[in-house]
Structures are given as C-alpha cells and as structure tokens.
Amino acid sequence: MASPTTPILANRYHLDRIVYSDSAVIAYQARDQILNRVVTVELLRSEKAKDSVSVQRMLAKARNAAIANLPHVAALYDQNSVDQRPFLVLEELAGPALAEMIPLQPQQAILLTEKMAETMEAALANQLPLPEINDQTIHISSEGRIQVLDLGLDQTSPTPGYAVKALGQLLSMTIAGAADLNRVTPLRTLAERATNGEYQSVGDLLMELRSLNQRANTPTTVIPRTHPTIPVPDAARPTPQPARPAPTPSSTTRPAPAVSAPRGVPISPPVVQDEPEPAPRRSIWGIVAAVVVTLLLVAGTIAVW
C-alpha cells in the first residue's frame, strides 16, 4: 500500500484525489505513470479486505466488467491488489459528478434516466451486478457523454424491481429543486410511480420515458385568443365637430402661381400685386378741337414768313 507521502499503488498508479466512495470501495483520480494517462482507481476498503466474500465479489466484478462491457459504464483497464486489497483501474472521469449539475431540465433528466435504464437492462440480461447510480457515481462530460464508475458491489439480489426503484430515485433526484417542485407534472408522477415500484420491468419504465420524451419534443401550434369587442356607450363617444368653411379669395387679388426652385435654394413667398387702373377715355370732340388749333398755328406761321 502506498504511504501518505507517496500515494502510489503497485509502483504505477499515483493517487491524486478521491472522486467518490461508498461502503465497499473508495475511488481516486490517479495517473498511470507507465502509460502517462489519467485513470480512475477503485480500491476496496481496508475493513473489507478480510472479508473473503467482498474480495471475491470485487474480483468477479472485474471479470464481468471485462466481459460484458455495459453501456455507459466506465471501461476497465487493469485489475491488481495491494496489501490483500484488490483494486480496479478504470477510464478517466468523463466530467463533473451529477451532484454538481442538478437540478436538470426535464428533458435532460429524461435522457439521463433513459441511458441508465439501458445500462440496467443490459446488466439484468447478463445477470451482472447492477450499477450503483447516484449523484456521485454518475459523471457527465461537456459533450453530454454519461459515465457510471461503480457496479454496485454491495448488491446481493439484482432484480428488476430493485432497478426500477433505483431509476425512480435517480429521476426524482435530478428534478428536485426545479421551479415546478410543488406542481404535479407527468415527469414527477412517473418518478413517483417508479420509486413506488409500480412498473413491472425496466422495459416498461423505459417505454413510458421515451413516450414522454417524444411528447415533450413534439411542436405544438398555439392559436391566439381573440378578445371580444366591447361596445362603447354613447356618452363616451366623441361629438363630431362641424367643418370650417374654406376661406374665400379676395376680388382684388389673384393667387400667385407656384414657384419651384432648384434643390437647396429657398423659395421666397410670392408677392401679390394690385391690378393697374384703366386709362381715362378721351371724347371725339376734344380730338377735333386739338387738330383745328394745330392747323391755325401752322397757317399763322406761314403768313408771317
């Protein structure tokens, strides 16, 4: 066993920090010093090392993980032991633990429960220990990849009923604290029914989950509501005002023609001019008298010469 100052297992795996633990194992993030890669080391607790049943189940767990390759369960790289304590070497953590991400949106919670139901079905079909699914053993990457790091070493009877209840508890956990906590929603009702063991199999629960997810993704057409017309009382209606008569143009003025100017040049207001008065008419007798006087003057001038 590695000492506190040099936490190295089997002269190969350098332990960095604890990522989760349960009553049987402690899991560490570690580095494989030979292959120079980050891994997860799951080590049997020291108090379980003297329990032959726990040791054998840990070894069986490693064999089953290598053979079955369950979906969404971390891949197994190596198995070894130190100080009679077996440990497993699994792939690197996909991302933060579920505990750091809840509550989830309803569709995210449905998708996560669907993936875990697929894992449960595969484990039951192969008669393997069921994954221990909780907010510490489930990790989710930034790309949405889901990873389980524990196969439930303490389970003694992996049954469909146990799996359905575990999935119901997981679904309730992921939506806890959501905005509709006090509302009865189809998703919350489904989680309660699963927790109470009302589904006969994981397949039945998975079918309803997929149906609920399909309904959630189906677009709906919203018809806008039309508001009724409210009659207006006569007292509230505006009183029409009589139209003003158009101004009458003056007899001594005529409207000036519209003047257009080049763009940018201001237009001066038109100047209104009065009409000229007509010249007075002369009578015919006045003209004759003027001609006679002119002739007499001409005749007198000739006589003098």
Domain count, the chain: 2
The answer to whether 48 and 36 are in contact (CB under 8 A) is: no
Q: Which of 19, 88, 14 is nearest to 5 (CA)?
A: 14
- 55 and 116 housed in the same domain: no
Whether 251 maps to a domain, the answer reads no
Which two three-digit tokens encode residue 123? 């484990």
- 35 and 105 housed in the same domain: no
Whether 287 maps to a domain, the answer reads no
Q: What is the pLDDT of residues 72-130, one digit of tens each?
A: 999 999 999 999 899 999 999 999 999 999 999 999 999 999 999 999 999 898 888 88
Residues of the chain by 3-state class (helix, strand, coil), percent to 5: 35, 15, 50
Q: Residue 104's domain is classified under what CATH number? A: 1.10.510.10
- 122 and 171 housed in the same domain: yes
Whether 176 maps to a domain, the answer reads yes
- 115 and 178 housed in the same domain: yes
What value, to the nearest 5°, has the Cα angle with vertex 169 and ends 19 and 187?
A: 120
* The domain boundary residue, chosen from 73, 90, 107: 90
- 68 and 135 housed in the same domain: no
Successive 10-residue mean pLDDT values, the chain, 305 residues: 64 93 90 96 93 89 80 93 93 93 93 95 87 91 90 67 94 78 81 94 93 75 49 54 58 50 48 51 68 72 58
* The domain boundary residue, chosen from 25, 59, 90: 90
- 117 and 207 housed in the same domain: yes
List CB contacts of 24: < 8 A, sequence separation 6 or more. Answer: 44, 45, 48, 54, 58, 153, 154
pLDDT of residue 14: 96
- 106 and 79 housed in the same domain: no
Helix, coil or strand: residue 76: strand
The answer to whether 152 and 158 are in contact (CB under 8 A) is: yes
- 79 and 134 housed in the same domain: no
Q: Residue 72's domain is classified under what CATH number? A: 3.30.200.20
- 197 and 117 housed in the same domain: yes
The answer to whether 82 and 11 are in contact (CB under 8 A) is: no
Q: What is the pLDDT of residues 26-41, one digit of tens each?
A: 999 999 999 999 999 9
- 85 and 177 housed in the same domain: no
Whether 203 maps to a domain, the answer reads yes
CA distance 274 to 259: 19
Whether 230 maps to a domain, the answer reads no
- 103 and 212 housed in the same domain: yes
| DSSP string for 159-224 | -HHHHHHHHHHHHHHHHTT-TTTTS--HHHHHHHHHHTT--SSHHHHHHHHHHHHHHHHS--PPPP
- 42 and 118 housed in the same domain: no
- Whole-model pTM: value is 0.64
The answer to whether 78 and 89 are in contact (CB under 8 A) is: yes
Whether 279 maps to a domain, the answer reads no
What is the span of the domain harbouring residue 181? 98-216
